[in-house]
Amino acid sequence: MMARGMLYGGGSNFDQKQRDMYFSTAKEHLGSLFGPDCSSFFGSSSMVSFRGVNGGKRSFFDSFDQEDNEADELGEYFHQAEKKRRLTDNQVQFLEKCFGEENKLEPERKVQLAKELGLQPRQIAIWFQNRRARWKTKQLEKEYEELRNRYDDLKSNYNTLLKEKENLRVEVFQLTDKLLVKEKGNGQLTLCDIQKQSNASVEVTVADPISRVELSNVPSRILKQQKQEDLSSAKSDVFDSESPHYTDKRHSTFIDQGDSARVFETEQSDLSQDDDENFGKAMLSTANLLGKVEDDDYPATSSNMHYFGFPSDDQGFGFWTY
């Protein structure tokens, strides 16, 4: 493709006549915009600059204020047109103002701006194009920042809820065990006793490791015995049965002592390690807190495992820990 960008800058597309026209028109327009002394607009030493032959910096428009050398300077400028030149602060300021009003230019407006600023229409177009690109990048950064803030908020809320959940869980564990001890004191049976009495393999299916222990093989008379008093307050519903970490797919099985025990054998892998650790810690702390629980009383399937729990209502209740 023919380079569209080569429309100006020393090429034949921008002859001396056009340069004169742009320059005179620019001074005229900018004089009305920035006052009669528009030299400040056209440049100071800090404005559009390019390195001359001697290496020094020079403002392009400064040169036009020196009438004696005007033609020479102009010629020098355009002979160096292949070099990039930055726009002056005032030019940029003016363009920014226009961009604020409309970020896309009509062809007529583009030509008008070019005349007013003493630039090529193509330069105006390029400036707007680059400006749109910068604006878009900024917008993306802004949106990213907003999304990140929202994510952080959600994460923070989630962590808070998680802690709350753990606290409640520990609380329930403690209350549960107190009830357990109390029951034992009253001569009532625990799940462990039930197992001993039934003298049979007890398969415990845990729909939810905490709230849904199903004693499928426990004799019904014994289960009935266990459905008593005010244990309903410790019912499973305390727990978040909708928790994505504990679904009905989870279950565990334990076969009588001596057999290979698998406790809370998960079929899912979505239980995060943190959650597991917290869960274990909570149970351990509960166990330590309530040192009254004796291993012999529970059908632990390995020497370092302990069972905490009791059946309640239609559903059992209990958990294992190491």
Q: Which residues bind to DNA, rule: CB under 7 A?
A: 1, 3-7, 9, 48-51, 57, 83-87, 92, 104-105, 107, 122-123, 125-127, 129-130, 132-134, 136
Distance of CA 120 to the CA centre of its chain: 44
Please say which residue, 127 or 173, places its beta carbon nearer to DNA: 127
Please say which residue, 14 or 319, places its beta carbon nearer to DNA: 14
Q: What is the dihedral of CA 308, 311, 315, 318, to 10 degrees?
A: 0
Please say which residue, 87 or 206, places its beta carbon nearer to DNA: 87
In whole angstroms, the minimum distance from the beta carbon of 2 to DNA comes to: 8
Please say which residue, 133 or 284, places its beta carbon nearer to DNA: 133
Q: What is the pairing mode between strands 204-206 and 213-215?
A: antiparallel
The most distant pair of C-alpha atoms in the chain lies apart, rounded to whole Å, by 117
In whole angstroms, the minimum distance from the beta carbon of 159 to DNA comes to: 33
In whole angstroms, the minimum distance from the beta carbon of 21 to DNA comes to: 18
Please say which residue, 34 or 50, places its beta carbon nearer to DNA: 50
In whole angstroms, the minimum distance from the beta carbon of 3 to DNA comes to: 2
CB 206 within 8 A of CB 213: yes
Please say which residue, 25 or 44, places its beta carbon nearer to DNA: 44
The residue length of the chain stands at 322
In whole angstroms, the minimum distance from the beta carbon of 25 to DNA comes to: 18
For residue 290, how many C-alpha atoms fall within 13 Å in the half-sphere facing its CB?
24
In whole angstroms, the minimum distance from the beta carbon of 242 to DNA comes to: 42
Please say which residue, 138 or 150, places its beta carbon nearer to DNA: 138
Smallest CA-to-CA distance from 263 within 309, 198, 191, 319 is with 319
In whole angstroms, the minimum distance from the beta carbon of 85 to DNA comes to: 5
Please say which residue, 133 or 161, places its beta carbon nearer to DNA: 133
In whole angstroms, the minimum distance from the beta carbon of 127 to DNA comes to: 6
